[in-house]
Amino acid sequence: MAPNSLSHPPFSPARLLCILLLLSPINQVCAGHDYHDALRKCIMFFEGQRSGKLPSDQRIKWRRDSALRDGDSAGVDLTGGYYDAGDNIKFGFPMAFTTTLLSWSVIEFGRTMGTEQKNAVRAVKWATDYLLKATAVPGTMFVQVGDAFSDHNCWERPEDMDTLRTVYKIDRDHPGSDVAGETAAALAAASIVFRSRNPSYSRVLLDRAIEVFEFADTHRGAYSGSLSQAVCPFYCDVNGYQDELLWAAVWLHKASRKREYREYIVRNEVVLRAGDTINEFGWDNKHAGINVLISKEVLMGKADYFNNFKLNADGFICSLLPGTAHPQVQYSPGGLIFKAGGSNMQHVTSLSFLLLAYSNYLSHANKVVPCGDTAANPAVLKQLAKRQVDYILGDNPLGMSYMVGYGPRFPRRIHHRGSSLPSVKAHPARLGCKQGSKYFLTQNPNPNLLVGAVVGGPNVSDAFPDSRPYFQESEPTTYINAPLVGLLSFFTAHP
């Protein structure tokens, strides 16, 4: 969608910066943040989400080995990977998106991560090692381990799990182009991360990405068609699988530089609806990410045949600017991006990541974004992204950091089984399915700090209950943290 098709009041870049400053409580903005400390904690969170046999250098010590027999029922090894949120299920769709965004964070901002770069790369590899296992059987992909309804009926440590570890898969007769496409994107993006660090591993990732994409494209369909009872309403594909096919092709183009992927993107731009819902980006909707990622080549003057994607990206950027009247993007009184639905911080971090990435592309090309009667320069986009990060870290009406372990005040009762239950060290005896209920219901703080976890966050009025039952506000997820890794990396070097 071209930017002039949106409704934008006439405002100057200077006025935009004024709006951004007005959204920031002045007494808090001046305080500054330790972005490197926040980055360290943001990455450490992924260690708390690990499934499988933990390594000796595990930093979150209250966790122990878990789910060591995953895949047994299907005759495959599906140990490892990440639990997506506060439960004990391994959902392949959000795990793959998390992996793509972690990889993009390293690709785009790795040079400013400093000593944390190695930990970010390890976080990527913990995921890709699992995704390689999940895609090891040609023509089949294992997309979930664990029965979500069984799991959600219990409040149990992952180390004690006795809920169903049912294995769910897609294949030629039961397609899942969405989850397979996202997995292909994740493997391709990660192959770039490891290209110079581990060339042989990088090659394995890219070869597998090519295979998985071919499977996704040849056998088209949404995975929630055949697996709706397992994946809905948790990670049901609402948006369709077309964007994941295009998203995968974009990452394969970037990773392989093969002409066939460039031609696929051009040929399928309209068919796969590249311009749809441009102000969305998350585990279910890749449109804005597609447009921003491809636009880098256009802005570098290398790919005029992708120009429509840049027009879409410009429209996306304009829709996020404060002062515009876009119906799907609001700002709280304290200045937080807010979109309807649960776990709002996933929108905050992913949209802010795209703002920052696009700002960098514009800066290198010495360009601005045309928005109606005016233009937004790269500094405006960086300031808006930074405002969101600072809000998360404590510059908000409650003066609360929404990252566990960062700052003097942060959520203490997060919706997370392992964090809220006594650790194995503190309580060696097994805790059964319903024995955890009293810990879920108590008003006491969680006994184990899940350092770096960013919760779903406050509501549109900046209110936050800090209560486990309010899972939409109090539950952390891997896909909230993944794009935040890139944002914090940049602001570590450019505070």
Nearest to 470 by CA among 452, 482, 458, 462: 458
Supply the DSSP string of 105-152, one letter for each residue.
HHHHHGGG-GGGHHHHHHHHHHHHHHHHHHT-STTEEEEEES-HHHHH
Q: Is 449 helix (H, G, I), strand (E, B) or coil?
A: coil
Q: Which residues contact 91 (CB under 8 A, 6 or more apart)?
A: 84, 143, 144, 231, 234, 235
What is the crossing angle of helices 242-256 and 259-268, to 10°? 150
- Token couple for 203: 């090659």
260 catalytic, yes or no? no
Rounded Cα distance between 188 and 32, Å, is: 36
428 CA to centre of own chain: 34
Nearest to 234 by CA among 174, 154, 148, 165: 148
466 catalytic, yes or no? yes
Rounded Cα distance between 453 and 478, Å, is: 8
Q: Is 369 helix (H, G, I), strand (E, B) or coil?
A: strand
- Token couple for 420: 């809220």
Residue 168 pairs in a beta bridge with 144
- Token couple for 56: 């000796």
Rounded Cα distance between 235 and 92, Å, is: 9
Q: Is 234 helix (H, G, I), strand (E, B) or coil?
A: coil
Rounded Cα distance between 144 and 287, Å, is: 24
Catalytic residue among 415, 416, 462, 473: 415
Active site residues: 415, 466, 475
